[in-house]
Homo-oligomer: A and B are copies of this chain.
Amino acid sequence: MSNLTLEDIAKRAGVSRSTVSRVINSQQYVRQDVRERVLRVIEETGFHPNIAARALASQRSWMIGLVLPRSVSSFFGDPYFPRLTQGIAQACNRHNITLGLFLVSTPEDENKLFPRISRKGFLDGMLVQSGEMNDQLNERLVNLTVPIVVLGRPFQTNEVSYIDVDNVKASFDAVTHLIRQGRRNVGTITGPTSSTVGLDRKEGYLRAMLEHGLELNSSLIMESDFTEAGGYLAMQELLVAKPDAIFAASDIMALGAMRAVHDAGLRVPEDIAFVGFDDLPFASLSQPALTTVHQPISKFGEKAVDILMELIENGTKPSRRIIMDTELVIRDSCGAKQKMEMDKET
């Protein structure tokens, strides 16, 4: 738009450049009437400071990065990420900072991107999606001096700030719910166990089974990849073990698995009960409506930005750990409602 500079505003307001700068950065030590006069000129002219100049002088870029490592960038097929991104973008708007999006697709990408984003002064901070165990990027990034908030528990938690939900507890509760419905042959479709989220949700399943005196059966546990197709395939294998309930570590896998159950001529929840994880919009629309663990995805993203901004303002020590709450949303796929009806009748 305009090419106005601080100097122009200063001239028009009859003050010096420094004063205008002070007003813009809402510092103290500016007389009230002067401040108002400057503000008025800024308003009238539609002046906005040049970000590059400001960044150069202040050593802050007013930009944070959202970094999705290679191992998750294919996850973009999972509606989880768009939702997350939306929450993050909204929070950035609120904070008046810009959001840089860095999707690492290939190893070459990673090598090119890493030096660029880790250059001091380029990003004020970053949000890094927790990736897979063998993902080097995560570790390289975390060892930087830039403030970082990891989305999801990282493998290395020392000195790192991160935000997560209590995956173990949430999964424990989900599986417990299935067991309480009288299901005994409870199987699970896990996420990749090379990721903490895959690991933690599996852990919740294992603990629930053990705690309720049920035997673990390795043929009731299938690892998959957080995709619909993966869920379908995993379910086909699980069918052999004749489960009467399945806890899927994500809604999208639950959907694929239910499709497999349907294709096998079995019914949900009568033959096999289901609980998913995420509570994405389509969960309530599936056939039958999916009982699932609700995650506050959008809020999760917003909170992550808030924490990051705090770290940027106040320094990264001590590191912060935020665990957000989940909630089991009971719909039709777990058979609980149906069971209640039956219990009433008898």
Residues of chain A touching chain B, judged by Cβ–Cβ distance below 8 Å, are 1-3, 46, 48, 50-53, 55-56, 61, 63, 66, 73, 76-77, 79, 81-83, 85-86, 89-90, 93, 96, 98-103, 105, 109, 112-113, 115-116, 118-122, 144, 228-229, 232, 256, 259, 262, 281-282, 285, 287
The one of B46, B99, B285 in contact with A259, judged by C-beta atoms closer than 8 angstroms, is B285
B119 x A105 contact (CB < 8 A): no
The one of B102, B119, B228, B281 in contact with A50, judged by C-beta atoms closer than 8 angstroms, is B119
The one of B63, B113, B121, B282 in contact with A93, judged by C-beta atoms closer than 8 angstroms, is B113
A109 x B81 contact (CB < 8 A): no
A51 x B121 contact (CB < 8 A): yes
Closest B residue to A53 by beta carbon equals B56
The answer to whether residues A119 and B73 also contact, given A89-B102, A144-B1, A259-B285 and a CB cut-off of 8 A, is no
The one of B52, B63, B79 in contact with A77, judged by C-beta atoms closer than 8 angstroms, is B79
Q: Which residues of chain B come closer than 8 Å to A282, judged between CB atoms?
A: 228
Looking at the assembled complex, report how far the CB atom of A21 sits from the nearest CB atom of chain B, in whole angstroms. Answer: 16
The one of B79, B86, B89, B98 in contact with A79, judged by C-beta atoms closer than 8 angstroms, is B79
Looking at the assembled complex, report how far the CB atom of A225 sits from the nearest CB atom of chain B, in whole angstroms. Answer: 13
Interchain CA distance A113-B144 in the complex, whole Å = 30
Q: Which residues of chain B come closer than 8 Å to A116, judged between CB atoms?
A: 48, 96, 98
Interchain CA distance A99-B81 in the complex, whole Å = 17
Q: List 29 A-B contacts (CB under 8 A).
A: A2-B120, A46-B115, A48-B116, A50-B121, A51-B55, A51-B121, A51-B122, A52-B53, A53-B56, A55-B55, A56-B56, A66-B101, A76-B85, A79-B79, A79-B82, A81-B82, A82-B82, A89-B102, A89-B103, A90-B105, A93-B105, A93-B109, A93-B112, A93-B113, A96-B112, A98-B102, A99-B100, A256-B285, A259-B287
